[in-house]
Amino acid sequence: MEIFKEIVVDKPIEEAWDVLGNQFSNAYKWARGLDHSKGYGEPTFEGASCNNRTCEVPGFGTIQEEIRMFDTNNHVLSYEVVKGFPGFISSAINTWKLEELGNGTKVSMHLKMETKGIMGILMGPMMKMKLNKTIEGVIKDFKHYVEKGIPSPEKEKELLKLSKKAA
């Protein structure tokens, strides 16, 4: 299954890359559906601050991602979920690409996920529908955060809920 999304961010490409690439570990600050994220592991790509990231996903648990491409010159980031997805998902790779567009930045996100077995056949369509909605929200969150420097209203609601749980 594949999901592809695009959006234009009204900020220069370097500002968008700063959030996406340089702050890879901190996606939880702007992306809905993440309670927390943390980078770890010695970087294997020039310019990267780490090689892996864990993400706390409410109602789902912890997933671990590993960087597959970190290209600061071409503004491409690709990472694979290597642990934490259900057994019927054999691979999940998400690739972000930034392209200069005048004074703004075209942001493309491409998720490629492969399922296996009968559960993959049964759960695949439902999972695609849910992920499509989530990814649509995440790319909008990214745009808002890069342009305004603060989380989107939807992400703010999540953060408020999380802080009430912690109190």
Say what the pLDDT of residue 85 is.
84
Say what the pLDDT of residue 167 is.
65
pLDDT tens string for the chain (167 positions)?
999 999 999 999 999 999 999 999 999 999 999 999 999 999 999 999 999 999 999 888 899 999 999 999 999 999 999 999 888 889 999 999 999 999 999 999 999 999 888 888 888 888 888 889 999 999 999 999 999 999 999 999 988 888 877 66
Say what the pLDDT of residue 86 is.
83
Say what the pLDDT of residue 3 is.
95
Any idea where the domains of the chain sit in the sequence?
Answer: 2-166
Measured in whole angstroms, the distance separating CA 2 from the mean position of its chain's CA atoms is 15
pTM: 0.93
Say what the pLDDT of residue 100 is.
96
Q: In what order do the strands lie in the sheet with 36-40?
A: 2-9, 104-115, 89-101, 76-83, 61-71, 52-57, 36-40
What contacts 68, CB < 8 A, 6 or more positions away? 78, 79, 80, 93
CATH class of 2-166: alpha beta
